[in-house]
Amino acid sequence: MSKKLEKMSLHELWQLFPIFLVEHNTAWKQWYEEERDIILSVVPSESIMRISHIGSTAILGIWAKNIVDILIEVNNKLDLDAVKDTLVNNGWLCMNMTENRITLNKGYTEQGFAEKVFHLHIRIMGDNDELFFRDYLNEHEEIAKEYEVLKLSLWKEFEHDRDGYTNAKTNFIKNIQIWQNVDIVVDIKKYQFFFDELILNTNYYCCLPTLKTHGRIILRKDNCKERFSKNCLFNVYTSIPLIFNTLRLLMCETFCKI
């Protein structure tokens, strides 16, 4: 008789459920949608503020573990516990639980992975950095490929060490998430030469000011090629950490989170 999962040590679980990456599978989106509908059929709608497909299976074109990650955002702590209890009563297993975060799984068996495997993350509304990371990589294919290369390089080294695999990706993920709600204000007049060089040698262009950025301008990858005035301060958003560091070290007058 197979040993029950709850009786296994962490080492035994990592041996039974190793890190295993596969090429991007377009069916992952359908798996998510089907499981989302099942969840919504058993959990009261007023308990769920938002449900989302996250993780590498939600990033187009890259290798990933054959596990679909789902994020459920709820109103408060009471809903957090209520949603967990409802789903556990409907076949989900609790993997981990802290005061404001709960992780469930589905598709883990005593014989190994089932055909379809899911991780479900239940959080209070707003605890959702994974959404920014997902959208950012889907908008920046070259960054997504860098992430894929990193994951593939870590696969065999951490095949039976899930925590080590996750920790080894942390710096990359944090370097992306730093762009969430970050505003860099620089004196363009003082450093005009650098921006001329930056725009000349990259795909970054200047966008027209908006009401939110009155008297400033946004530098980002898009089709807007309006040149800027030397006498303004500008909001600068870029997606390349190297450019971020250069701006911060060479030009940054003020660095603040908005």
The predicted pLDDT at position 11 comes to 87
- pLDDT tens sequence across 83-92: 999 999 999 9
% of the chain residues with pLDDT over 70: 68
Report pTM: 0.71
Distances from the Cα of 187 to the Cα of 31, 78, 178, angstroms: 49, 48, 21
CA contacts within 13 A on the Cβ side of 173: 15
The whole-number pLDDT of residue 187 equals 46
Q: Which residues 6+ apart lie within 8 Å of 193 measured at CB? A: none
- When comparing pLDDT for 31 and 8, which is higher? 31
Residue whose token pair is 């041996």: 15
pLDDT value for 179: 61
Dihedral, 155, 158, 163, 165 alpha carbons, nearest 10: -30
Give me the mean pLDDT over the 168-177 stretch: 86
Q: What is the mean pLDDT of residues 174-185?
A: 61
Task: Tell me the per-residue pLDDT of 220-240, one tens digit each, with 9 for 90 and over.
Answer: 433 333 333 333 333 333 333
Section 89-111 average pLDDT: 94
The more confidently predicted of residues 250 and 52 is 52
